[in-house]
Structure 1
Amino acid sequence: MDNVRVRIAPSPTGYLHVGTAHTALFNWLFAKHNNGKFILRIEDTDIQRSSKEYEENILEGLTWLGLYWDEGPYYQTQRLDLYRKYAEELLKIGAAYYCYCTPEELEQRRKEALAQKRPPKYDRKCLYLSDEEIAKYEREGRKPVIRLLVPEGKTVFNDIIRGEIEFDNEDIGDFVIMKSDGIPTYNFAVVVDDYTMGITHVIRGEDHISNTPKQLFIYNALNWTPPEFAHLPLLLGPDRSKLSKRHGVTSVTEYKKMGYLPEALVNYLALLGWTPEENKEIYTIEELIELFDLRRVTKNPGIFDITKLEWINTQHIRRLSVEKLAELTLPFLEEVEWFNRNNFDKNYYLKVVSILQERLKTLSQIREYGDYFFLDKLNYDLETVKKVCKSPDIHIYLEKIKEEWSKIPNSEFSAQNLENILRNLAETHQIPTKNLVHPIRVALTNKTVGPGLYELAEILGKERVIKRLEEFIECLKEL
């Protein structure tokens, strides 16, 4: 494993997909585990569909995940002369040839082959063109492509994950390596790039298995030593079809916006198709690097389950220090209009984060679970109020609670004192404690569930608590 060099080569024709991130992660872990290099290459030869926006999204997503590259990004559009150089070398040694067939002619011959139940591969019509025929096509203004001459026989290669894989060359046919506009095709550009960049291991999705023999033809024709290949299992949706938008969010940066931690997404993606020896599910980045082994990658597809990702995210959130969690959640609060940044109290916020940490599944839920800590006024949900305040006398008991809690000095407005007073009052009036706790929770938070009532009341502080009890009692009287 000396001088390991691997790469990720996304095309900027869309946002960074979790499937691409999964492949990037396995390459990155393999490189880090073996003290190798991780190279980033942007395959931007699809000029019409490529965009700067997509490229920036790819770079942002990889950076957010912590998959920092050691070299690059390299761009294929800046390497066109290199592809032309090796294409001409293949022409020179007779391993490739010009093809002048038009798309219409090719389509017609494809239909004829299918009708005759023959494989619809190229029929080598242009392999032995005479000088006169070439001159005629040139006069017609035809711009040729370059095709590789596929050798006879079989192609066998060893896949690190899947073992020996064999292809019959007869089924492949001479394929285009350079288009008529001078742009290389995927399989040709990949080989030239991987060879000239010194890539030792090509780790990619199993959908590329069928490309491997074509690439090996090119390696062999140029007398180059090919890298080792490892084809990863694909990511599927819960219905076991290829992961797509209909299964939900597939863009890596959308998970960032939704409040997922990068270390949680990395942890989850690493476990899709890879089984570490240790019997656990939560890993740090350092642990993943230490344990990663391509030989423990399975052939079975990984099922992307957002519920499992959410659970892993929850575990990573619980591992954060309160200070770090406060730092990460604050930007999500700042996005909502009711949050007043000018009145921000850091110590108060640390208390809020501390009490909510066990409940957060994503960072963005700070807005949903903690809004009542920052709102000046709660707009009570009347259906919820009716549900928890069925006793016609409840406002009387809430009045008594308000009066007793009002007597507590600010310095002694603690969870323990609040609980003692409420329990004593419930005992005095022979009322189940829960009959008071639930209405008070709604009064203070406008929610039926949440962290401990007395603890959250202590954080809210005496002034807010008394004010909300007064407003809630008025709401009950109106009902």
Structure 2
Amino acid sequence: MTDKKSSLHDAPVRTRFAPSPTGFIHLGNIRSALYPWAFARSQGGAFILRIEDTDQERSTQAAVDVILEGMAWLGLNHDEGPFYQMQRMARYKTVLADMQARGLVYPCYMSVAELDALRERQMAAKQKPRYDGTWRPEPGKALPPVPEGVQPVLRFKNPLDGSVVWDDKVKGRVEVCNDELDDLVIARPDGTPTYNFCVVVDDIDMRITHVIRGDDHVNNTPRQINIFRALGHEPPVYAHLPTVLNEQGEKMSKRHGAKPVTQYRDEGYLPDAMVNYLARLGWSHGDDEIFSRQQFLDWFNLDHLGASAGRFDETKLRWVNAQHLKTMDDAALSPLVAVQLQKRGIAADERLPALCGLFKDRCETTVQLADWAMPYYTDVQPSDDDRAKHVTEVIQPAIATLHDKLAEVRWDAASIGTTIKEVLAAQQLKMPQLAMPVRVLVMGTPQTPSLDAVLALHHKETVLARLKKA
């Protein structure tokens, strides 16, 4: 670490996402990855992934796996990392020793019981509860005798006067008086460093230029800025994002029903649709609602981040997903639908891209697309109600005629369409009178896209066998 002042603001953009693996990552969390990723990409910079796993009691490998899996699924690829704080302990301790040698930190022997008593006295006097500097060394000050057998914490000597000021890219100018901040514990009695200290060392070592994170961190920022400056470095540019609320208006969290990001993948959402939807939860480009990943990166900057909380709306998410489904290339869509079919024990074939093209306008998710594909790979069981309503005795002779004529024709949509029209004319029927019972028998539902296209994608023998069941 150096005393020399260094400016990051003219350096190439370097952003980071630094989740704690103490619970699964949900959409509110992942939005805090999306914006720094997008900013780094839009500026030709680097995006760093850092796992802040110092809370060993609550951190789990399963939570790390969901972070990595969720980011990979969304295409939020990192350029460096993942770095794990627990693997950087030697580095933190080196910096702590350096700070001790330079008088920037001091040992504090105040016990938890003494701290609790101090807070109670302060609250009774209607004062802000805070550490009172008992063990802070000052010229001419006599410190209490060091108690035997007590391992001290290390506290950072926060400046006593002046203010911490920064221009937040979301909140605007923020100013906090130093006399509102007490001396932060930066190492526990066993010597392990604390969160706010590790973050600063990491951001310095990783040359982070922009910190884009949730506004639940805003109270940490003045403390971190003071540590940056004590270590001879200018802090990065900060952008504190407003909270993402759930549909009930509460902060999105596991406790309030938030789902792991990977569950949206399993439920049939598209990565680009999720990026589109999440981007609009706190950023805008005019009135544009639907845009591609590339458009988002072309348009993204920190000047259009919203200052008010975004509210998650699953209905809107499904609509956004449907728009992306409609425009997605069938060949690119079919492997995603194939995955959904595999979960049901179905192996798709070469017809799947065409099936995607035929049915995607009716779907909001790849799960729904897989539902439409199912009759092409498994038997159908029309409901008794649909059979009774549509496959009546009156229409059965026309179905039998259609069966016999289809058995003789070339199997493509045009030939099938011509044959259906011939049967309608001969039987003096309107299209719905024949098409709906045929759909019920072949697809298990009376409503489908154009009947000739639906039948053409089936194997001929399958259609004939199902018509026979009339």
Structure 1 length normalisation: TM-score? 0.88
> Percent of aligned pairs with the same residue?
36
One-letter amino acid matched to 1:133: P
Tell me which moved more, 254-263 or 402-411: 402-411
1:197-245 C-alpha deviation (Å, 9 max, x unpaired): 2111111111111111111121232232111111122211123221124
d(CA) in 2 for partners of 1:235, 1:223: 35
> More relative contact order in 1 or in 2 (CA 8 Å, sep 6+)?
2
What is the aligned partner in structure 1 of residue 55 from structure 2? 46
d(CA) in 2 for partners of 1:103, 1:384: 72
What is the aligned partner in structure 2 of residue 324 from structure 1? 332
Unaligned runs of 5+ in 1: 474-479
1:283-320 C-alpha deviation (Å, 9 max, x unpaired): 22222222111011111222222222222222222223
Distance 1:395 1:349, change over 3 A: farther
What is the aligned partner in structure 1 of residue 353 from structure 2? 350
Contact kept in structure 2, 1:405 and 1:418, CA below 8 Å: no
Q: How does 1:440-455 map to 2 (within 5 A)?
A: 440-455=438-453
Contact kept in structure 1, 2:225 and 2:235, CA below 8 Å: yes
2:390 counterpart of 1:382: no
What is the aligned partner in structure 2 of residue 119 from structure 1? 128
Q: How does 1:266-415 map to 2 (within 5 A)?
A: 266-277=275-286, 279-337=287-345, 339=346, 341=347, 345-346=349-350, 348-375=351-378, 377-388=379-390, 394-415=392-413
1:90-125 C-alpha deviation (Å, 9 max, x unpaired): 333333221122222222322232222111111222
d(CA) in 2 for partners of 1:78, 1:130: 39
Contact kept in structure 2, 1:333 and 1:366, CA below 8 Å: no
State the Cα distance separating 1:416 from its structure 2 match. Answer: 4.7
1:233-259 C-alpha deviation (Å, 9 max, x unpaired): 221112322112466553221112122
One-letter amino acid matched to 1:445: M
One-letter amino acid matched to 2:398: K
Contact kept in structure 2, 1:39 and 1:71, CA below 8 Å: yes
Contact kept in structure 1, 2:186 and 2:197, CA below 8 Å: yes
Which of the pair is proportionally richer in helix? 1
What is the aligned partner in structure 2 of residue 463 from structure 1? 461
State the Cα distance separating 1:442 from its structure 2 match. Answer: 1.5
d(CA) in 2 for partners of 1:436, 1:324: 35
What is the aligned partner in structure 2 of residue 250 from structure 1? 259
Where 2:284 maps in the other structure, the secondary structure is coil
Distance 1:459 1:173, change over 3 A: same
Contact kept in structure 1, 2:244 and 2:252, CA below 8 Å: yes
State the Cα distance separating 1:131 from its structure 2 match. Answer: 7.4
d(CA) in 2 for partners of 1:119, 1:425: 86
One-letter amino acid matched to 1:178: A
Question: 120, 123, 133: which one pairs with 2:145?
Answer: 133
What is the aligned partner in structure 2 of residue 212 from structure 1? 221
Unaligned runs of 5+ in 2: 1-9
Distance 1:387 1:210, change over 3 A: farther
Structure 2 length normalisation: TM-score? 0.90
Tell me which moved more, 34-43 or 395-404: 395-404
Contact kept in structure 1, 2:171 and 2:240, CA below 8 Å: yes
Distance 1:219 1:413, change over 3 A: closer
d(CA) in 2 for partners of 1:308, 1:233: 20
Contact kept in structure 2, 1:273 and 1:302, CA below 8 Å: yes
Contact kept in structure 1, 2:413 and 2:455, CA below 8 Å: yes
1:174-211 C-alpha deviation (Å, 9 max, x unpaired): 22111112222111111111112211111111111111
